[in-house]
Structure 1
């Protein structure tokens, strides 16, 4: 049982709806958005109308539109998976030897490409379900930073798994959003992997290891870990009331993912040669 952050001898099961810090009855202030701690209760809550709520998930929409446009432009196949040799895949898909050769942009652009209609359909469905919730909850800027941090961590994980196969897909970033959602549930006093989230992650991880599906499970694991770490970083920054620390932590995670991807690509490529 957690203890009140102001009274260490008092156990409590209630957390502030804004910062997530545990609070006892003497420290609770009832607001229209739940119980808040003494510090957060003094802050002015942003008013969100139906119009602004509907307009908020703009980053999620932009990502989905970009993925769909690139999929149609690349002539993606109709099927569970397919191989494309078009110009877009040749220049933007994730491939270890080309990362080693200096095509570092592939660490990001590969997350916007997909290999089949089922591939993009499943990823975009999950992205919409998770993205609209998290972006409205966290704000577009924070959501975008978390998404791209998870994307880079997913690319690193995929390269750890293999540098000799072409990898595409937003799966790593989507798994990262699952990790962020787990942190947000935990910080608000709910079961971190409850409400079906734990089952969703487990099922998708199991599918990742099924032979014949040609799924980069390393990207899924890397993205999930990246999302969890980035979400925890923002949680810690909010508790310290220093939001910039969360952005700084995501920048460090992203840099480490890029550096690690380059190092792994170079080492394994040299071994295969």
Structure 2
């Protein structure tokens, strides 16, 4: 028998199955949802730039893509209203009841600085929270915060054209602060608290910022984290961690509907 030879069938038999290999692969990528969200935001930014014009996506005032997919109360109200005029001068109308804008607006940005700032904070918070929460809980808080931000924007700025991942990102900031508070840490003595205060200052004192979107996101994320990130001795039932983000999302949808109607 040759020394050092391998049995091909033995090697195949010892190899982990696909499910096990997938589990090991995912374990080595603790913030995969964060990476997917960042990639999706960048892909939308580049894709819409190619489709509707790079200049529109780079502009801080927006363009056709923002009018089609941004958060604008009249476009959700069931009214058929003119959005803009095309290259031939013909009016392009909104069909009304475009509730998909509650989500699409969260992947739309005004210029490079806007998306770069949001993605940087998402990267930092995602790599901190996702390994701690797990992918499903992290994603549920993110999208509940996004809907909370949309509800806040519709409530406080019904005539504004809002766009950006800021609502969801502010929700993660609120969640991180509440999670620290649960652990007995004063969040404002940490970088998370300082980042939250700086962003709140920008919210109220920087022009053309959606105050409602930011505040709605923070409130939604904080409520989610109050239950999802609570330590065991708080006494919340296990199912509450799954139900709370869904309940916050439903409440945000109801608030959006009431604000529009």
Shorter-chain TM band: 0.7 to 0.9
Structure 1 residue aligned with 2:220, among 212, 217, 226? Answer: 226
Q: What is the match of residue 144 of structure 1?
A: 139
More helix by share: 2
Unaligned segments of structure 1, at least 5 residues: 1-48, 267-273
- Do structure 1's residue 84 and structure 2's residue 63 form an aligned pair? yes
Quick one: which of 151, 154, 161 aligns to 1:156?
A: 151
Query: For 2:39, which of 65, 80, 91 is the aligned residue?
Result: 65
Q: Which residue of 2 aligns with 1:198?
A: 193
Is residue 149–residue 167 contact of structure 2 (8 Å, CA) maintained in 1? yes
Q: Is the contact made by 2:121 and 2:169 (CA closer than 8 Å) also made in structure 1?
A: yes
Report what 1:247 is aligned to.
Answer: 242
**Match 1:135 to one of 130, 135, 144:** 130
CA distance in 2, matches of 1:150, 1:117: 23
Unaligned runs of 5+ in 2: 1-22, 79-96
What TM-score does the superposition give when structure 1 sets the normalisation length? 0.73
Structure 1 runs (4+) deviating above 6 angstroms are none
Count of residue pairs the alignment pairs up:
215
CA RMSD after TM alignment: 2.2
TM-score norm. by structure 2 comes to 0.76
Partner of 1:209, secondary structure, is helix
How far apart are residue 193 of structure 1 and its match? 2.8
Of structures 1 and 2, the larger Rg is shown by: 2
The yes-or-no answer on 1:214 pairing with 2:191 is no
Task: Provide the C-alpha distance between the structure 2 equivalents of 1:148 and 1:226, rounded to a whole number of angstroms.
Answer: 10
